[in-house]
Structure 1
Amino acid sequence: MTRLMDLKPTPWGTVRFLALLTLAIIWTYPFVWLVSASLKGQLEIFSKGLNLIPDEFLWSNYQRAWVNAGFSVYMFNTVLVTAGTVVLVVFHTALSGYVLGRYDFIGRRVIIGILAATLVVPVGVTIIPIVDVVSTLGLINSRWGIILALAGGAQAAAILLYAGYFRGLPKELEESARLDGAGFFRIFFSVMLPLAGPVTATVSVLTFLAAWNTFLIPLVFTFGAPELRTLPVGMLAFVGTNETDWSGMAAAATISLLPVVVFFFFVQRYFVEGVAGAVKA
C-alpha cells in the first residue's frame, strides 16, 4: 500500500487546493466578521469595518444581548419550538413517506406531484390560512401554536426523501413481520423506521435549521406575547426608531448562529449519508 508520505503533490492538485482554500476563506469570512463586530464598539464597526481585530474586546455586548435584550428567554423559546417541530415533522413525514413509498394505490402519483409542486410555494402565501387554523384552535399566542404552524406544512422534501428510501428496502422485511403477526404501525415503528436512520438524521438536520432560523411565523404568532419570541424575532429588539444597536445585534446574531454551527459540525456526516442513501434508493 502506498504510504501518504510517498504521495507527491501535483501542480493541478496544488492549484485545486489553493482554489478551494480561497473559496473557504470567502465563505467563512462573513461569520468571522460577525464575531469580530460583536466585540467592537458602535463607531468602530463602521470606521474599521474590514479590520477583524477590535481595538478593545467589548464582552459587554454579549451581556447586553443576553440579559438586557432578553436573549436568554428567546434561546429557551427557540430550543423548545425547534425540538417540538423536529419531533412532529419526523413523525408525520416518515409515516407519509412510508405509505407513498411502499404502497401502490389510486392517486399516488397525483399526491407525489402535488407535494413536489408545493416546493415552489413561498411561506408567505400560506401564512393567512395557517394563522386562521391555529387561531381557531386557540393557540395563536403559545409555543404550541408556533410548533404546529412550522410542522404542519407539506414538508414535501422530507416526505419524498423518506418515500425514496422506503421504496428501496426489500419487501421481505414486511412479509416476515406480517408472518409474525405484526400490524401496520408495529411494522412501521419496529422495522421500517429504525432502518431509515440516515434519512431521519437528514430530515432532523434540515428541520432543525429551518425551525431555528425561521422568522415570519414566530413574528406573526408572538405579536401579542413578546415573551414567546424566538431568537430571529428577538433581533428586532436592537432596532430603534432613530438608531440601531449594531454591536449588540452582532453579539445577538453570534449567539443565535453558534449553536447551529456547532450542531451541524457534529451531524454533517449523517446529513451527507442520509441524502446519498435516499438518492441511491
Structure 2
Amino acid sequence: MSGSVSSTTTTTPRPVGGKPPVPGRQRRFSRRDRIWALIISLILVPIVLVWVYPFVWTISSSLKSTSEIFGSLSPFSPVLRIGNYTQAWREAQMGRYFFNTVFVTGFSILISVTTAALMGYALGRYRFAGKKVIIAVFALAVFLPEGYTIIPVYDLIDRLHLTGSLWGVTLAEAGGVNIVAVLLFAGYFAQLPAELEEAARVDGAGFVRTFVTVYLPLARPVTATAVIMQFLHSWNDFLLPLVLTLTRPELRTLSVGIYALRGQYLSDWGVMTAAATIALVPIIVVFLLLQRHFVESIAGAVKG
C-alpha cells in the first residue's frame, strides 16, 4: 500500500539483573562506592607523601645552605642558592663525572640490549637441547649478588688491558647482561606468530635479517624496558666503577663521585644534595619518556 512506512523494531539488550542504560547519561557511583574510594584515598595519600618526601627533601636541600637544611624540615627556603649546583658541577667535578656516566651508560645499553635481544630471540623462537636448563640457570642467576662476580670481572678486564679506561668500565657494566631482559624478550618473541618467520624465510632472509627486520621492530615495548633496566643499573652502579677507577679518579662515575664528596665536602650538604639531584634528574626523565612501553612489555610478557 502506497504511503505506508515500513519500520524495523530494534531492542536494546538489558544487562542481566539491572536497568537498561539511559542514553546520554554516565554511570553514577553509589554512596558505598564513594565511601570506599574516600577510604582508599585516605590510606594512599600518606603513603605517597612518605614515598615522595625524600625526593622533595633532596631537591629542596640542594638550594639551601647546611644550616638551613638542618635548621628546619620545611622544603621551602626564602633564598634559593643556585651556586650549589655551580660548585658541584665545576669544583666537585660533577661535570666530568656526568660525561663519564653518560659514556658508560650509553654504550653499555647498546651492548647489553643487543645481546639480550639476540639471546631472547634464540630462546623464544627456536627449540634445541638444553633450552630449559639454560632458562633455569638464567632464573637462578638473577639471585646471584654482584659482589661474588667482582673478582672474575676485574680479572677479565685486566687481561683485556682495559683497566683504567672508560671502555673497561663500559664492558664490565654491559657484561652482566640483565637476565630479566633476556627472559622478557624470550617471552615476547615466543608469542609472535610463526607465519612471520616463514614468510621471511620464503623471501630468503636468514637468522640475522629475520631478527633485525621482522621481530626486533615488533619488540619495541620490551626494548624500551630493557633500556630502562640497563640505564638504571649502569647509571646507579657503584661497586664496579669504584673498583675499576681506583687508580684513575678522573674516570669516576656520578655515584662514585658523590661518594667521594663525603670527605672533601663533609660540611657542605648543599653541594652534596645538588650533586645527587644532578644524578637523579636524568633517571626521572628517561623513565617518564619510556614508562608506557615499560608497562606494555610487562603485560605482553605475562600474557605470553
TM-score bracket relative to the smaller structure: over 0.9
Structure 1 residues 61 and 257 mapped into 2: Cα distance closer, same or farther (>3 Å)? same
Q: Does 1:40 align with 2:48?
A: no
Selected match of 2:190 from 167, 175, 179: 167
How far apart in 2 are the matches of 1:114 and 1:2?
57
Answer with 3-12 or 62-71: which moved more: 3-12
SS for the counterpart of 2:158 is helix
Could you tell me which residue of structure 2 aligns to residue 147 of structure 1?
170
Q: Contact 1:118–1:154 at 8 Å: present in 2 too?
A: no
Could you tell me which residue of structure 2 aligns to residue 207 of structure 1?
230
Superposed CA offset, 1:44-99 (max 9, x none): 22222x12112432211111101100111111111111111111111000000111
How far apart in 2 are the matches of 1:2 and 1:265?
36
Superposed CA offset, 1:161-210 (max 9, x none): 11111111111111111111111111111111111111101111111111
Q: Contact 2:112–2:177 at 8 Å: present in 1 too?
A: no
How far apart in 1 are the matches of 2:181 and 2:289?
21
How far apart in 2 are the matches of 1:109 and 1:66?
49
Q: Contact 1:115–1:154 at 8 Å: present in 2 too?
A: no
Amino acid in structure 2 at the alignment position of 1:36: S
How far apart in 1 are the matches of 2:242 and 2:235?
13
How far apart in 2 are the matches of 1:77 and 1:67?
15
Selected match of 1:119 from 109, 131, 142: 142
How far apart in 2 are the matches of 1:246 and 1:5?
53
SS for the counterpart of 2:163 is coil
How far apart in 1 are the matches of 2:27 and 2:284?
33
CA apart distance, 1:3: 5.9
Structure 1 residues 3 and 31 mapped into 2: Cα distance closer, same or farther (>3 Å)? farther
SS for the counterpart of 1:248 is helix
In proportion to residue count, which structure has more helix?
1
How far apart in 1 are the matches of 2:223 and 2:138?
19
Selected match of 2:92 from 69, 80, 83: 69
How far apart in 2 are the matches of 1:233 and 1:269?
31
Q: Contact 1:86–1:208 at 8 Å: present in 2 too?
A: yes
Is the radius of gyration larger for structure 1 or structure 2?
2
Superposed CA RMSD: 1.8
How far apart in 1 are the matches of 2:234 and 2:278?
16
Superposition TM-score, scaled by structure 2 size:
0.87
Could you tell me which residue of structure 2 aligns to residue 247 of structure 1?
270
Gapped regions of structure 2 (runs ≥ 5): 1-22
Gapped regions of structure 1 (runs ≥ 5): none
Could you tell me which residue of structure 1 aligns to residue 8 of structure 2?
none
Q: Name segments (4+ residues, structure 1) moved above 3 Å.
A: 1-9, 241-244
Structure 1 residues 137 and 155 mapped into 2: Cα distance closer, same or farther (>3 Å)? same
Amino acid in structure 1 at the alignment position of 2:274: A
Q: Contact 2:265–2:272 at 8 Å: present in 1 too?
A: no
Could you tell me which residue of structure 2 aligns to residue 26 of structure 1?
50
Could you tell me which residue of structure 2 aligns to residue 186 of structure 1?
209
How far apart in 1 are the matches of 2:256 and 2:267?
15
CA apart distance, 1:243: 3.5
Amino acid in structure 2 at the alignment position of 1:18: L
Structure 1 residues 168 and 224 mapped into 2: Cα distance closer, same or farther (>3 Å)? same
How far apart in 2 are the matches of 1:272 and 1:146?
30
Amino acid in structure 2 at the alignment position of 1:24: V
Structure 1 residues 243 and 74 mapped into 2: Cα distance closer, same or farther (>3 Å)? closer
Q: Contact 1:40–1:55 at 8 Å: present in 2 too?
A: no
Structure 1 residues 66 and 3 mapped into 2: Cα distance closer, same or farther (>3 Å)? farther
Could you tell me which residue of structure 2 aligns to residue 263 of structure 1?
286
SS for the counterpart of 1:120 is coil
CA apart distance, 1:6: 6.1
How far apart in 1 are the matches of 2:118 and 2:289?
27
How far apart in 2 are the matches of 1:34 and 1:250?
6
Q: Contact 1:96–1:159 at 8 Å: present in 2 too?
A: yes
Amino acid in structure 1 at the alignment position of 2:143: V
Superposition TM-score, scaled by structure 1 size:
0.94
Identity percentage over the alignment? 49
How far apart in 1 are the matches of 2:144 and 2:131?
21
